[in-house]
Amino acid sequence: MTRSYAFVRRPRPAWVDVGSPYPAELLLDLHSHALNHGMPARRRGGQLLAWAGRRGLPVAGAAAVLRRLPARPVPHLDRLLDEVARSWDVLAAGSDRIPAAVPALSALAIQRSSGRYVFVFGGSRHPVLLLKPGPHEGLGDAEEIALRAAAPAAVAPRRLTSVAGLSVEEGLPGRPLWVVPPGRPGWSSCYATAYDGLGAGLVRVGELTARRGGHDLDHYLGLASEHLRWSAAGTAMAAVDAARRDLRRLDAASLQHRDLSAQNWLVDGSSFVGIVDWETADPGGVPGHDALQAAVALLEHGVALRRWSQEEVVRTFRRAWPEEPIFSLARAWHRHCVCAATGSDRLADPLVIAFFARRLGRRISGGGPETLSVATLTAMLEVVSGSAGP
């Protein structure tokens, strides 16, 4: 079967099968979410981009226009879909999301820095498969290890087999979570249903992947403490030092995704579906820290949908941490995750301090969240430690 593909050059090269509406709709939807998640207020033309990031792109209309662009055959994509069809029985046996019979297949191929990613559709708006580059030669596939570990928790796509040298994952029926800018008190309640689903999934991951192991917490908390020693944040320093002493007894670890910003967790409406992009996951991660990172990322990315500044991040976090629903949920699910991985919640409070202190320690040493300054991370730690007023 010969299909026709429209070529889109920007923001990254993509080949869109115009014989079905779904590839074009997904491409425009991905671009819309990328603008929403991409902290647009930090960029040149930030106010206009932030406005577009809050509203989203007109996906349906733009997709219809895209499908009317000049199109031509792309033989290597047709051959790839033919190979997928020939491998269908094996693929369907690995996932109950994949229909037993081969449906009419269509594709969206996107070129990224790590290679070409091909979304395969089977007659519905959600891709049934994702084909992506395999691990680099000589290196282990960290993502495959993470996906196999997370599979029993039903929070991640299943890695299936390989087709034409590409790794194949089942598609998940959802879209990335949409970020909203912080506003009046209670603004984060729109995330509650999705976050509860995420939290429950992270608890299952903690239960299923718990293991004995050490961490880098002592090192980074030591850097944070030394920095705080020369600042006016005496309460924060005392909290970090106390957490550091307590956490020397921590000998448990669990699988940690480490990049739970909104583009990596999928929802269907307001319901949590799953977590994608496990390339940077750590099998020996810190229990509970994913639960906190997901909430903090929503706030930081939300601030960047209006007017970005370090001061605005601190002001918003200072108001949100004590009372906003998203942080109440984050603290509760963090505690459940710690209990699931360690058998007790006795280290939950020190691990909250450690999450924020570790971010500060990593930033001091040249890593950590690049969008935030050392002063901002220090102020956020002060809020959590109770050394700053609400």
19: Cβ contacts below 8 Å, ≥ 6 apart: 3, 4, 106
Domains located in the chain, CATH noted = 5-173 (no CATH), 187-385 (3.90.1200)
pLDDT given at position 315? 98
pLDDT (tens, 9 = 90+) of the chain, 390 residues, equals 789 999 999 889 999 999 999 999 999 999 999 999 999 999 888 899 999 999 999 999 999 999 999 999 999 999 999 999 999 999 999 999 999 999 999 999 999 988 899 999 998 999 999 999 976 543 457 888 999 999 999 999 999 999 999 999 999 999 999 999 999 999 999 999 999 999 999 999 999 999 998 889 999 999 999 999 988 767 899 999 999 999 999 999 999 999 999 999 999 999 999 999 999 999 999 999 999 999 999 999 999 999 999 999 999 999 999 999 999 999 999 999 999 999 999 999 999 999 999 999 999 999 988 999 999 999 999 999 984 443
Half-sphere exposure of 259 (CA within 13 A, CB side): 11
Radius of gyration over every alpha carbon of the chain, rounded to an integer in angstroms: 22
pTM, full prediction: 0.93
pLDDT digits (tens, 9 = 90+) for 49-75: 999 999 999 999 999 999 999 999 999
Q: What angle do CA 291, 294, 295 make, to 5 degrees?
A: 95
Binning the chain into helix, strand and coil, the percentages to the nearest 5 are 50, 15, 35
Burial of 56 (C-beta count, 10 Å sphere; 0-12/13-18/19+) = middle
In angstroms, the Cα distances linking 256 to 50, 80, 118, 205, 280 are 31, 33, 26, 9, 9
Cis peptide before 11 (omega within 30 of 0): yes
Strand partners, 162: 167
**Of 359, 379, 369, which Cα lies nearest the Cα of 312?**
379
Residues in the chain: 390
Residue located via tokens 């979304």: 119
